[in-house]
Amino acid sequence: MAQATETIQITAENAPIRLEIGQPAPDFALPDQDGKIVRLEDLRGQRVVLFTYPEAFTPACTAEACEFGDSERALQAHGYRILAVSSDPVERLERFKREKALGYTLLSDEDDAVQTAYGAHGLRNKYGRIKVGPIRSTFVIDEHGNIEHALYNVRAAGHVARVRKLLGVE
């Protein structure tokens, strides 16, 4: 006997927040793949590309992470530091970084608090079904800690090229 599934409507009350250009980026302190705490406030004076992804080692997330890795030198040459945030535990991030040879920092947000603060966790439409979970997103944070760009619900394929074009990094 098939179980009935509940239909969830996305409304203004339950939709994730969305950060606006010029708004201060929410501060955070998260452990990286080695367990070291990374604080956004400590990165003032640097420009940051912060991307959130659902889960390490899944096909789309792996492709996106590797594309950011392939673009790391070009982004660094234009003054950007890459940070990646997921709900994965530190141990899984350490293995992901090592096995995929990623040079940038991976941050663990196991309770989804930072992703929620950025509007990158909440109700989302996944293959026609409304679920709660990570919303693949990218944020560009200027050297003063303000949102320069906020890209929500992005597709992994071609996303890094879009970010590079947006930032003038060819």
Do the domain assignments include residue 132?
yes
What's the predicted TM-score (pTM) here?
Answer: 0.89
Q: Give the chain's domain count.
A: 1
Do the domain assignments include residue 135?
yes
Residues tagged active-site: 61
Do the domain assignments include residue 18?
no
Is residue 113 within 8 A of residue 107, CB to CB? The reply is no
What is the domain extent for residue 106? 29-167
Q: Kindly tell me if the per-residue pLDDT of 5 is higher than 60.
A: no
Do the domain assignments include residue 72?
yes
> What's the pLDDT at 129?
79
> What's the pLDDT at 3?
43
Measure Cα distances from 46 to 5, 7, 114, 115 in Å. Answer: 46, 44, 19, 21
Domain of 86, CATH number, reads 3.40.30.10
Do the domain assignments include residue 127?
yes
Residue 155: is it exposed, middle or buried by C-beta count within 10 angstroms (0-12/13-18/19+)? Answer: exposed
